[in-house]
Structure 1
Amino acid sequence: MPVRSVVRDRVRGFLPVDATIRYLFPASWHETSHFLIAVTDSSVVVLSTALFRRSRPKRIWRVFPRDVRIGPVDTHLIPTFELGGHHFEVDEEYIPVINAADAELGGGRLPRDPFADL
């Protein structure tokens, strides 16, 4: 399910004025920390959210250059990916979003199909 427009508007308040959100998805870490990850045209911004208000960003947790790859997503049990030395969990519906963000970087590597057995 896409992230609602009201959440996108909240995230824009934390980004530079000229930043364009290309992709936005929620992720969690250790089931107690929740984040919104915004892939813009120039960076990957990880925003922390409140525990019980996951659609409300509180602050910028980390900023990565846009050339950082978010995937590959490990789909073994719970889909996870590593970013900045931390393993995040993501709902499987957002795996294509991560793959699309990584595919934009090019480099001849296509993302692997998360549902190859279907």
Structure 2
Amino acid sequence: MPLSSEVRDRCRGFLPAGAELRYLFPALSLNPGMAPVLVAVTSRTVTVLTCSFLRRNRPTGVLVHYPRTIQLGPVDTRTTPTIEFGNLMLEIDDEYISVVRCADAEVDEQSFLPPDPLPDL
């Protein structure tokens, strides 16, 4: 289920000034400990926001900022979908796998495009 505009507005308050929010998805941090987080992808940064345990979609602070050049995937789907980037391992819902892949495609589109079938033309 997509996150509401209310949640998106709350997250904007924790992002750098003038940042355009491109992708936002909830996750569960698996290290250190299990904690709900929101991952906000802007044109310049990937920001992981901590959330309240009682209200999972209510950001309470910034856990970490990464440059936008970081790859969020690949998504490991052997059991529950997980992604690992920086020093974080996050569990995500199945419906957000495509969001992670779209965010990664913006960073490195060459690895997500099919090979040219007629390279000599």
Q: TM-score, normalised by structure 1?
A: 0.89
**Corresponding residue for 1:24?**
24
Which sections of structure 1, spanning at least 5 residues, go unmatched? 112-118
Deviations 1:42-85 (A, max 9, x none): 00000000111111101100000000000000011100000222
Q: Say which is worse superposed, 79-88 or 34-43, in terms of deviation.
A: 79-88
Q: Work out the CA distance in 1 between the residues paired with 2:16 and 2:88.
A: 25
Partner SS, residue 76 of structure 2: coil
After superposition, residues 1-118 of structure 1 pair within 5 angstroms as: 1-30=1-30, 32-110=34-112
Q: Say which is worse superposed, 63-72 or 29-38, in terms of deviation.
A: 29-38
Which sections of structure 2, spanning at least 5 residues, go unmatched? 114-121
Aligned residues: 111
Partner SS, residue 76 of structure 1: coil
Q: Percent identity over the alignment?
A: 46
**Corresponding residue for 1:115?**
none
Q: Which is greater in Rg?
A: 2
Contact 1:74 1:81 (8 Å CA) reproduced: yes
Task: Indicate the RMSD between aligned Cα atoms, in angstroms.
Answer: 1.4
Q: TM-score, normalised by structure 2?
A: 0.87
Partner SS, residue 46 of structure 1: strand
Structure 1's consecutive aligned runs of 4 or more residues displaced over 3 angstroms after TM superposition are none
What is the CA-CA distance between 1:86 and the residue it aligns to? 2.1
Letter of the structure 2 residue corresponding to residue 80 of structure 1 = T
Q: Work out the CA distance in 2 between the residues paired with 1:89 and 1:99.
A: 15
